[in-house]
Structure 1
Amino acid sequence: MDETSDPFAPVRRRLGELLPEYRLAADPPSTTGLSQVFRAEDLRLHHRRVAVKAMAGYLSMHPGYRQRFLREIQLMTELEHPNIMYLIRASAAEDDLLYLVMPWAEDDLRRRLARERLDLAAAVDVVMQVARALDYAHDRGVVHRDVKPANILFGAEGHVYLSDFGVAKDRMGPDLTVAGESIGTRRYTAPEVYSAGPADPNAPGVPAERPATDAERAGDVYSLGAVLYHCLNGQRPFDHLDDSAAELAQREGDLTPVTMLHPQLPAALDPVVAKAMHVDPAQRYRSCGELARALAQTVGVTDAGSALPILRDIQERLRTEPGERTELVRSVPAARPHWLHLLVPVLSLLLAAGVLAWSAFGPEDDGGGSGVAAEETSGEEVEEGAEPTAPPPVTGDEQVERRPLVGECTTDDDETWVVVACDSPDAAEYYYRIVVNPEDPNPSQPDHDDASWLACGDSRATDFEYYWSDSTPDGEQWDPATDVIYYIMCYQEL
């Protein structure tokens, strides 16, 4: 193939000179306005398949775009995380053609969604993995600003990589966007980010090592919410509108609920997506991890992907067994956390069977709906054979007596949980984490301080409640072979 019929021939030829140990495939690369990605083989390592990303030839001599590409190389080198795409090799600043070499990804989320929308379990898995990558980057002061399906790659066995930090902004250097340039991709990028101009060079500086603020994270939270919407719906947000109308709808927050298009999905997903893509950045989740935890809690899985039991239903089942009783005791907030014990003389095997019987993901129907485990309804019995649903969010002046979900608030009622909206004047406690089957490094410790410290952390937690079985009547002994902590609920006083 000569250069007259191959528009990528000059770049391909120069890469062959710079990277003689890699053989580039003859098929056309995937290309954007700024770069080209070639499939290649590593001739020195058993023909391992790799991806070679090179700057588009006409930009190679542009100082600003060269600096941006070099910044991407720097960021990918520094952000070492299992869910962030890593580099095998990269060009030096003095090279005439800038490039980087990465592992070859078999698929990306854009192509996968073009074939079919994801089922609920797969969508949650993707969002949780991307959220971990984004929180890691945000904690190091790096904001991605272009989270979209094309930049979410799949490795072996569904492992997810976040890629393309070409328009990322970090505290270690200046904002490399230029006046009049759009940041990110319409429909996925938050309105305040997409139309943002370059940073004011005269604005006060910020510490380079400081993590990203909630306001800085908000744009990536919006984008991850848009990715979730696409996964669940099979179409982009505002896909039925042209670009101009889509921009207006984004600014007005006029988003069609997912369950209006796919009513077989749990209704509780709609407020999760709506909060993530709220037009007001301050009303979104404070981090991508918080969004992922809210999503996982809604569908009944833990951060590790295991199923949450339907807590109230299992309690009621156990209470009805003759001679057996399970109680959940809430600890009392104090200057020093006061860990109360739970007296739960119940057979571990029966409890384990109850958990398995109510695993979160049941058989799929019509390719879209998943069995979804709920926390509990607001005091109403679930009809036999009916699919459980997560409780609706508490808003305004509403109050509900039930266990809180992650991200919810309660009053300071000492007898039970009264769930209220977090902006309610009655809100006294904020539940920020629920850990199922937590690790206990010191299982012989009667009050399990170590387990709660690992589950809740030592900085945010005011106190916690936990649900566990103990085979001894006085609760002073712990048998690791039979006794188990089922979950820990972490909260802080407001």
Structure 2
Amino acid sequence: MDIDTLRLRLEAALGEQLQLGPLLGQGGFAAVFRAHDPFLERDVAIKVLDPSLAVDAALEEQFLHEARTIAAAEHPHIVPLYSADSTGGLLYLVMRLLPGRSLEDRIAEGKLPAAEAARIALECARALAAAHAVGVVHRDIKPANILLDANGNATVTDFGIALVTSRPARDPLGSTAGTPHYMSPEQSLGEPVDGRSDVYALGVVLYEMLTGTCPFPGRNAAEVMAKHISAPIPRLSEREPETPVALVRLVDRMLAKDPAGRPNAAELVQELTAASTPDGLLTPSQVRRRRWKRRGIYVAIALAGAIPVIVIGVRIAFRMMAFLMGSGGGADPALLESGGAVPDSIVRLARETGSVGVNERVGLVFIQANHTFADALLLTDSAIIRRRPRGTIRRSLQQSDINLQPLPRGGSAGGFLIVKQKGAAPDTLYDDLSGQEALRLASEFTTWGRAQKARHPSPR
């Protein structure tokens, strides 16, 4: 594309309506100029397409129709279009001149914080939802087509451009027009596309904002497109383990190979709105800490039966749950402590009875007061197991559900804190959480527990 020749042709096409200014940018199939409107006394941007593009009358009319449609949408996250025309063999758009920079420039500085990435993706999704509602598909969502103002707010530009620029034949290197790193599988295959193709492209953009890189590298466009068509998307949680859980799940859905597996733009707005909340932005480690708190409540309630239970928090590296178990009364609570591992006999019995698997590590065994191992609750690295005389109840856990972070030694709060009323029957806790020291009952065991204690003396 000869810019000097293009400038002369564009000046002739514009006549006296607009005064053409300097070149602002140039791509493979278009150039952007600054211009001044002397009547309205404002500066505008003009995007003119490469005149060598093969544009027939039907395609030209569709391009102009989409331009008129998107101009009527008047959405805060869509660049306002002032006019679109085909004059002197040139197709061009006149739009608002937006100060700032592109998202591409922002990503070049490094990956974005999750909250910022989610907000930008949400603003783009709102723009897409508005466009799709009036029947316009963008077809070329990418960071270069997302502009950021001084406050970081996103505006989507170049609606309809890909309608024309995706028509040229393949070049000798085997690449195609368009932007292969962001093309959906169906677009890469040359199939008809709808709004869900834009959702896929925005999923790639969100992935790139969160990691700093696109999912698929490649030596050429054909290789990248082939990966989008058939290769599994590299797991976002593996590249950036502390990416918020909600965003990981949403990106997975946006990048589904089958369009039917993706949300539409309106649904995406709702899901990104939820993912942008404080709860939605929780990282995996924050989720694990929250689950520990909830699990403390769950375990306390599961064990309580008819015994009154109050759950209190203990501040350590993060909050563990403490169990206040007793019969009430006005006696002052007695705090008794020791530390110890789950006795081998209990682990062996748990395996022999089928409560836990051969390779399943038992992290905690809780035996309620006046009960035996037949009523024990076991916490392993994969499940919460509640034994009962009539059968065992097993609640499977994801690996990320259990956080075995080492606890600090010394101080007044380490491991699990159990407080019981004086004179009440004691509970028994065996604790082996990665060698953590724990506060634990050290009073009389139950009848079954005393027998175990005789065989396995309590540690110091």
Query: What range describes the TM-score normalised by the shorter chain of this pair?
Result: 0.5 to 0.7
Distance 1:231 1:15, change over 3 A: same
Q: Map Cα deviations across residues 219-248 of structure 1 (whole Å, 9 max, x no partner).
A: 122111111001111112213665344333
Gaps of 5+ in 1: 1-5, 170-174, 200-214, 302-306, 311-359, 362-368, 388-417, 419-494
Aligned twin of 2:16: 20
Encode CA deviations 1:59-88: one digit per residue, 9 max, x unaligned: 487545533542342233233222112112
Q: Which has the higher helix share?
A: 2
Question: Distance in 1 between the 2:34 and 2:106 partners?
Answer: 19
Q: Distance in 1 between matches of 2:129 and 2:182?
A: 18
Q: What is the correspondence of 1:50-449 to structure 2 with a 5 Å cutoff?
A: 50-59=44-53, 62-63=56-57, 66-91=60-85, 93=86, 96-105=89-98, 106-166=100-160, 184-197=178-191, 216-239=194-217, 242-285=220-263, 287-298=264-275, 300-301=276-277, 307=278, 377=291, 379-380=294-295, 386=318
Query: The residue matched to 1:144 in structure 2 has which SS?
Result: coil
CA–CA separation in structure 2 for the residues paired with 1:176 and 1:109: 21
Q: 1:19 and 1:11 mapped to 2: Cα distance?
A: 14
Give RMSD over aligned pairs. Answer: 4.0
Shift of 1:45: 4.7
Paired AA for residue 103 in structure 2: L
Code of the aligned partner of 2:249 = P
Equivalent in 3, 16, 21 of residue 8 of structure 1: 3
1:84–1:163 contact (8 Å) kept in structure 2: yes
Q: SS in structure 2 opposite 1:50?
A: strand
Alpha-carbon distance in structure 2 between the residues aligned to 1:370 and 1:131? 25
**Higher strand residue share:** 2
Between the aligned partners of 2:39 and 2:245, the Cα distance in structure 1 is 53
Aligned in 2, Cα 1:386/1:113: closer, same or farther, shift over 3 Å? farther
Instruction: Give the secondary-structure state (helix, strand or coil) at the position aligned to 2:183.
Output: coil
Helix, strand or coil at the partner of 2:295: coil
2:39, 2:287 → 1: CA distance?
Answer: 50
Cα offset, 1:129, TM superposition: 0.7
Change (3 A) 1:253 1:78: farther
Unmatched 5+ stretches in structure 2: 171-175, 297-312, 320-394, 396-460
Between the aligned partners of 1:281 and 1:60, the Cα distance in structure 2 is: 29
TM-score (norm 1): 0.51
Letter in 2 for 1:283: G
CA distance in 2, matches of 1:112, 1:68: 33
Shift of 1:52: 0.7
Q: 1:293 to 1:41 in 2, by over 3 A?
A: same
Give the superposition deviation at 1:127.
Answer: 0.7
> Post-superposition shift, 1:273?
1.2
One-letter code of the match for 2:295? E
Deviations 1:181-203 (A, max 9, x none): 86742121211122224x6xxxx
The answer to whether the 8 Å contact 1:108/1:150 transfers is yes
* TM-aligned CA distance change 1:12 to 1:260, over 3 Å: same
Contact 2:9-2:88 within 8 A present in 1 as well: no
Provide, for residues 287-319 of structure 1, a one-character-per-residue CA deviation record: whole Å limited to 9, x for no partner. Answer: 124334334434x51xxxxx55x9xxxxxxxxx
Q: TM-score, normalised by structure 2?
A: 0.55
Q: Distance in 1 between matches of 2:185 and 2:54?
A: 30
Aligned to 1:58, what secondary structure does the other structure show? coil
In structure 2, the partner of 1:365 is: none
Q: Which residue of 2 aligns with 1:39?
A: 34
Q: Secondary structure at the match of 1:147?
A: coil
Q: Displacement of 1:130 after TM fit?
A: 0.9
CA distance in 2, matches of 1:12, 1:24: 8
Over 3 Å counting, the alpha-carbon distance change for 1:371 and 1:135 in structure 2 is farther
CA distance in 2, matches of 1:242, 1:137: 31
Paired with 1:64 and 1:10, the residues of 2 have a C-alpha distance of: 26
Q: Distance in 1 between matches of 2:141 and 2:148?
A: 15
Change (3 A) 1:75 1:176: farther
* Contact map agreement 1:224 1:288 (CA 8 A) in 2: no
**Distance in 2 (alpha carbons) for counterparts of 1:36 and 1:72:** 20
Classify 1:54/1:240 alpha carbon distance in 2 versus 1 (closer, same or farther; 3 Å).
closer
Q: For residue 143 of structure 1, give the secondary structure of its aligned residue in structure 2.
A: coil
Distance 2:229 2:255 in 1: 10
Q: By how many angstroms is 1:277 displaced?
A: 0.3
Q: Structure 2 CA distance, aligned partners of 1:261 and 1:104?
A: 37
Is the contact between residue 114 and residue 244 of structure 2 (CA under 8 Å) also seen in structure 1? no
Q: Which moved more, 1:220-229 or 1:150-159?
A: 150-159
Deviations 1:251-281 (A, max 9, x none): 2342212232223323443222111101122
Contact 1:151/1:162 (8 A) holds in 2: yes
3-state SS in 2 of match to 1:83:
coil
CA contact (8 A) 1:142 1:168 kept: no
Cα 1:384/1:258, change in 2 over 3 Å: farther
1:9 offset after TM fit, Å? Answer: 2.1
